[in-house]
A and B are shown apart, each in its own frame.
Chain A
Amino acid sequence: EIVLTQSPGTLSLSPGERATLSCRASQSVSSSYLAWYQQKPGQAPRLLIYGASSRATGIPDRFSGSGSGTDFTLTISRLEPEDFAVYYCQQYGSSSSTFGPGTKVDIK
């Protein structure tokens, strides 16, 4: 099973600041199968990025994904008030899938 580690666990930032979230895999992940989700309390996760770097429909361009192999990054260029939430990475290759433990982005 591929284990995903996310860092930091919590990121305290102010609106307008840049957020950089990391997702590291225990073994190589095909870039085609790495996704990022945003989740707010009481809501289902919302797909932000798939294929490591492709934005899902309707996702603002302040969200971007990058990386390959075992290291992936989600960047939010300028935090808006609605961006404070928990973010999860997911790998979904080879008939199996796992999620990272999440990074909480909260208001400083």
Chain B
Amino acid sequence: QVQLVQSGAEVKKPGASVKVSCKASGYTFTSYDINWVRQATGQGLEWMGWMNPNSGNTGYAQKFQGRVTMTRNTSISTAYMELSSLRSEDTAVYYCARVDSSGCWGQGTLVTVSS
């Protein structure tokens, strides 16, 4: 079955970077865009950007421009989202997702930013 499995929880200090992975299975990884979405505790969903795993092309929400980088390794069907210059407001659950009729989302990765 179509599945996205994310890496485990992370604790980072302010100013550091975090890199979250998202491993795809059950479909051809290069055929569908991967989106990244985050959700702070008790808050709504916030779209961060997308990546085309075939071309590597990306598009980022203006809020995250300059701070987020989305990449992939097609040999292991894995997408990555790296967020730099972390601050406490970046504490959230980060999801990778296919925004198409599959409705497939990863299980989420909690990133905690704390000194």
Interface size class of B (residues with CB under 8 A): 20 to 34
Interface centre among A1, A37, A92, A97 (most CB of B within 10 A): A97
Give per-residue flags for A34-50: 1 if the beta carbon is below 8 A from chain B beta carbons, else 0: 01010100001111001
Whether A45 pairs with B35 at a CB distance below 8 angstroms is no
A9 → chain B closest CB, angstroms: 11
Nearest B residue to A33, CB-CB: B99
Q: Which of B33-55 contact A (CB under 8 A)?
A: 35, 37, 44-47, 50
Given A44-B106, A50-B101: A99 and B46 interface contact (C-beta under 8 Å): yes
Does more than half of chain A's interface fall in helix, strand or loop, or is it mixed? loop
A19 within 8 A of B: no
Count of A interface residues, CB-CB < 8 Å: 24
A interface residues with partner B (beta carbon < 8 Å):
1, 35, 37, 39, 44-47, 50-51, 54, 56-57, 88, 90, 92, 95-102
